[in-house]
Amino acid sequence: MLMKIPFFNNKQLQSKENYHDTGGSTPDHVAIIMDGNGRWAQKQGMPRVAGHNEGVSAVVKIVKAAVKYKVKVLTLYTFSTENWKRPKLEIDFLLRLPKEFLNHYLPDLLSNNVRVEAIGDLGKLPAYTRQAIQYAINRTRDNDGLQLNIAINYGSRYEILNAMKEILLNVNAGKLSLNELDEQQLSGYLYTAGMPEPDLLIRTGGEKRLSNFLLWQLAYTEFWFTDTLWPDFSEKEFLHALEEYRQRKRRYGGI
């Protein structure tokens, strides 16, 4: 069971006195690979699922920080298509976390104008997971603040392959001209259609790879890696990543 911790503090949301403005711009879209839950638990002499449970506390902190610092879209990699290879006990626990998280914190998300979305192959998820996510999507659909994307049963190669299949079907049906197909049109067939591409990718846990996450969308994204395990990732370190992003110059292939 999750212990409910304070999610939003209105005084914190209204105050940005600790936000050091370096003169750059805050990223509109931040994507995070939340890595290190299992290793965190093992270091504490606890089962791996305890690390996933503790990782929810970090999710709460970072969603709160994203609202505070005016990030527009936050995408969290919660369960990949490769995670089905893990032990059944761990899989079951991971797929129950979205329901527990949303049951606890949906009122806070609603009152702070957060809109929930999901990307991934949701049809293969257990009914209780799908229903919890869909309920949160429906309840928050009119909010126009932070968009919180839950990437669940998500795999980027699968996403791109499915997009190509849909494109070929539409070409064969005469609905789309292959000669006129461009990057923008292809992007419209992805789970992230209509969303801005990530400006900043954060990966915790010390690894420096993408792990089949948003491969198309991250083409010009700035990367930021930390050895900190996800349960220990704090607002302070999130702000450090934002400030480093603000000092980078994005040239998109230009000078």
Rg (CA), the chain: 19
Q: Is 203 annotated as a binding residue?
A: yes
Contacts 24+ apart (CB under 8 A), 219-225: 220/250, 220/252, 221/31, 221/197, 222/27, 222/248, 222/250, 224/200
Q: Out of 35, 53, 149, 153, pick the active-site residue.
A: 35
Question: Which helix (H) or strand (E) element contains residue 246?
Answer: helix 235-247
214 is an annotated ligand-binding site residue:
no
Torsion over CA: 82, 83, 86, 89 (sign): negative
Is 108 annotated as a binding-site member?
Answer: no
- Does the annotation count 35 as an active-site position? yes
Which entry of 28, 83, 103, 212 is annotated as an active-site residue?
Answer: 83
84 marked ligand binding residue: yes
Q: Distance between CA atoms of 193 and 117, rounded to whole angstroms?
A: 12
Point out which residues pair with 7 in neighbouring strands: none
Any known ligand binding at 251? no
**180 in a labelled binding site:** no
To the question of whether residue 81 is assigned a binding role by annotation, the answer is: yes
Distance CA 58, CA 7 (A): 11
Q: Does 86 belong to an annotated binding site?
A: yes
- At a CB cut-off of 8 Å and minimum separation 6, what does 148 contact? 63, 66, 74, 76, 109, 114, 115, 116, 117
Residue 38 marked ligand-binding: yes
Query: Residue 80 annotated as binding?
Result: yes
Q: What residues are designated binding site for substrate?
A: 36-40, 48, 52, 80-82, 84, 86, 203, 209-211
Residues annotated as catalytic (active site), given as ranges: 35, 83
Q: What residues are designated binding site for Mg(2+)?
A: 35, 222
Q: What residues are designated binding site?
A: 35-40, 48, 52, 80-82, 84, 86, 203, 209-211, 222
